[in-house]
């Protein structure tokens, strides 16, 4: 996808925050969102959609983004919130929290995907934005690295599920562990594999 032209979305020198999330698809753990305002005077080479980058590359870029961005933030919506309001609304909630946590208020927000959270700042959703807008790509990297680290830590708290390996996604290993152990407090009980298992156990 071609790079987004600055003039299409905002005037030159406008403070732009890019926003993206990680963790919509897993069966366990929170969803994570990040917001980043990049510094035009300090470009960071190699930023792209986090899904296109190796874990090692993401780990190298993450501290550069934190150090060289004008502002950044990472925010979360818990598994309990996901069950209460559904994954879409929880994702939008995490995105809103990320934008509101920025130490610098942006003048415009560009969000990966086709939905925008409710904000009091002008916002636009861009499908494929994580691969075409550097600020969104940077946000995708921060969100992915933060969530992966959280799931590695969660693996020590809840051994047996393999969270450090699959990060909560519905792999065969994860589904087999669920069949053996049942859900832990970090599982999203509203998601189909878990809600079906609960129904069949009644």
What is the domain-level CATH number for residue 31? 3.30.420.10
Percent pLDDT > 90 in the chain is: 88
For residue 2, being part of any structural domain is answered with: no
Say what the pLDDT of residue 11 is.
47
> Sign of the C-alpha dihedral, residues 186, 187, 188, 189?
negative
Residue-range definition of the domain harbouring residue 118: 7-201
Total domain count, the chain: 1
What is the 3-class SS of 29-84, one letter each residue? CCEEEEEEECCCCCCCCCCCCHHHCCHHHHHHHHHHHHHHCCEEEEEEECHHHHHH
pTM (predicted TM-score): 0.90
Residue 70: inside a domain = yes
DSSP 86-129: -HHHHHHHHHHHHHHT-SS--SEEEEESS-----SSEEEEETTH
Domain-located, residue 101: yes
pLDDT at 200: 46
Domain assignment of residue 1, yes or no: no
Is 80 annotated in some ligand binding site?
Answer: no
Q: What is the pLDDT of residue 2?
A: 29
**112 marked as part of a ligand binding site:** yes
What is the predicted pLDDT for the residue at 14?
A: 80
Is 69 within a domain?
Answer: yes
Work out the number of other CB atoms within 10 angstroms of the CB of residue 126.
Answer: 20
In a domain, 150, yes or no: yes
Q: Is 112 part of any domain?
A: yes
Q: Is residue 128 part of a domain?
A: yes
Q: What is the pLDDT of residue 194?
A: 86
The reply, when asked if residue 130 is annotated as ligand binding, is no
CA distance 78 to 192: 17
- Give the residues of the chain that fall short of pLDDT 50: 1-11, 199-202
């Amino acid at each position: 996808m071609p790079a987004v032209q600055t003039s299409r979305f905002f005037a030159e020198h406008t403070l732009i925050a890019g926003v993206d999330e990680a963790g919509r698809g897993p069966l366990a753990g929170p969803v994570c969102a990040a917001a980043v305002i990049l510094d035009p005077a300090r470009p960071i080479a190699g930023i792209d959609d986090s899904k296109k980058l190796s874990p090692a590359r993401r780990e190298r870029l993450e501290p550069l983004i934190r150090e060289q961005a004008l502002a950044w933030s990472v925010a979360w919506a818990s598994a309990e919130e996901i069950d209460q309001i559904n994954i879409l609304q929880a994702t939008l909630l995490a995105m809103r929290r990320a934008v509101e946590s920025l130490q610098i208020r942006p003048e415009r927000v560009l969000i990966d995907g086709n939905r925008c959270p409710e904000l009091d700042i002008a916002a636009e959703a861009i499908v494929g934005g994580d691969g075409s807008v550097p600020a969104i790509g940077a946000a995708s990297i921060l969100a992915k690295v933060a969530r992966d680290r959280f799931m590695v830590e969660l693996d020590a708290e809840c051994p047996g599920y393999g969270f450090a390996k699959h990060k909560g996604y519905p792999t065969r290993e994860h589904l087999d562990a669920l069949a053996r152990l049942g859900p832990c407090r970090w599982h999203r009980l509203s998601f189909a594999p878990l809600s079906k298992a609960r129904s069949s156990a009644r």
